[in-house]
Amino acid sequence: MPAPKTAIILANLGSPSAPTVPAVRRFLKEFLWDPRVVNLPRPLWWLILHGVVLPFRPGKSTKAYQKIWDADKGSPLTFFTRQLSAELAAQLAGRDITVTYAMRYGEPSIASQLRVLKEQGIEEVLVLPLYPQYSSTTTASIYDDLVKELDQWRHLPSFRFISDYHQHPAYIAAVADSIRQAWREQPKNALLVMSFHGLPEQLTQWGDPYFHHCHKTAALLAEQLGLSEQDWKIVFQSRFGKAEWLKPYCVDTLQALPGLGVTTVDMVCPGFAVDCLETLEEIAMENRAIFMEAGGEAYRYIGCLNDSTAHAQALLAVLGL
């Protein structure tokens, strides 16, 4: 019998369709209304979202997006995700495997990509959320969206969902190699700061493993790089709202380091598969300014794996292909 027709979906968060206030408002409305992202009671959150957040935040976010938006390529997150799927397809050339990508928010949607695959007669679907560390706010939300669409199908394909790869040897090796390459190009700074996206602390108490996954990833990277405890630090970025989030906070740490005698840092974001607003604008620009104003002398951002061949090969290992 012929092998089943297989498809891989690389799933990511998504981006606004344009760096404009209306487009950013539409994106934020979809993103922030997801109950996986904000756990407040819906009536209360609807009032806050429409009365406080959406009237004001899109303007600020639009300015941030405009700093990193490429006139030809568009959103870095979308571009790199698309290119990564193409690189994965190139690595699988000659095998009966289709590779595509989808976004949880914005376009192309998970539902639309599943329908395309259905029309192509795909019999087996492998879904890989581009979130190395599992979180209910990200990975589980992608699963929700998949199930929402598949619940409407009479004939379901075979299905495999990768929940996380935070300690997969191929992923750890690829990130470590990218850091070593940066250090070969320019000697390493005094401290390697590993920054992960923050979450409300309450989620960890409810059983979300994200905090522990981040610490495991960071520890494995430090081990692979041969770093001692004083050579690296883990922080959490992108705090939103007034609740307590995962600590230590990235901004607070960067402001304090020069006063502690650490004036040169390398920043890396091992929780982001591809560069995006939170890495290119927040870490590489905004947080750099904060560190330098506090007395820092050198600040280098080491980019994500993006659409590199090494990244594609690591993801094939994660998928077992």
The verdict on residue 31 lying in a domain is yes
User: Side-chain half-sphere of 108: how many Cα atoms within 13 Å?
Assistant: 16
Question: What are the tokens at 237?
Answer: 């970025």
% of the chain with per-residue pLDDT over 70:
99
> Contact 204/134 with Cβ under 8 angstroms?
no
Does 197 count as an annotated binding residue? yes
The model's confidence at residue 214, banded by pLDDT at 50, 70 and 90, is very high
Q: Note the Cα 147 to chain centre separation in Å.
A: 21
The verdict on residue 36 lying in a domain is yes
Question: What are the tokens at 236?
Answer: 């959490």
Mean pLDDT, residues 70-78 taken together? 97
Least confident among 1-10, 71-80, 291-300? 1-10
Structural element, H or E, at residue 103: strand 97-103
pLDDT exceeds 90 at position 4: no
The verdict on residue 274 lying in a domain is yes
Residues 176, 297: one domain? yes
The model's confidence at residue 240, banded by pLDDT at 50, 70 and 90, is confident
Mean pLDDT, residues 269-274 taken together? 98
Question: What is the reported pTM?
Answer: 0.96
Confidence (pLDDT) at 2 = 60
Mean pLDDT, residues 35-48 taken together? 94
Mean residue pLDDT across the chain: 97
> Which of residues 8, 42, 68 is at a domain's end?
68
The model's confidence at residue 3, banded by pLDDT at 50, 70 and 90, is low
Domain that holds residue 174: 169-302
Calpha distance 38→235 (Å, rounded): 22
175-184 contacts at long range (C-beta below 8 A, 24 or more positions apart): 175/221, 175/268, 175/270, 175/305, 176/221, 176/224, 176/225, 177/310, 178/302, 178/303, 178/305, 178/308, 178/310, 179/221, 179/225, 179/266, 179/268, 179/302, 180/225, 182/266, 182/300, 182/302, 183/266
> Contact 168/210 with Cβ under 8 angstroms?
no
The verdict on residue 239 lying in a domain is yes
The model's confidence at residue 193, banded by pLDDT at 50, 70 and 90, is very high
Hey, how many other C-beta atoms are within 10 angstroms of the C-beta on 154? Answer: 4
Hey, how many other C-beta atoms are within 10 angstroms of the C-beta on 108? Answer: 15
Residues 64, 173: one domain? no
Does 166 count as an annotated binding residue? no
81-139 pLDDT, tens per residue?
999 999 999 999 999 999 999 999 999 999 999 999 999 999 999 999 999 999 999 99
Residues 62, 178: one domain? no
- CA distances for 308 relative to 9, 83, 274, 305, angstroms: 18, 9, 10, 6
Residue from 298, 312, 209 nearest 321 by CA: 312
The verdict on residue 111 lying in a domain is no
The verdict on residue 195 lying in a domain is yes
Residues 6 or more apart from 309 whose CB is under 8 A from it? Answer: 87, 91
Mean pLDDT, residues 183-209 taken together? 97
User: Phi, psi at residue 98, to the nearest 5°?
Assistant: -95, 140
The verdict on residue 204 lying in a domain is yes
Provide the number of structural domains found in the chain. Answer: 2
Residues 63, 177: one domain? no
215-225 pLDDT, tens per residue?
999 999 999 99
The verdict on residue 241 lying in a domain is yes
Confidence (pLDDT) at 1 = 52
| β-sheet bridge partners, residue 12 | 103
Edge-to-edge strands of the sheet including 6-12? 97-103, 6-12, 124-129, 158-161
Q: What is the CATH number of the domain that holds 209?
A: 3.40.50.1400
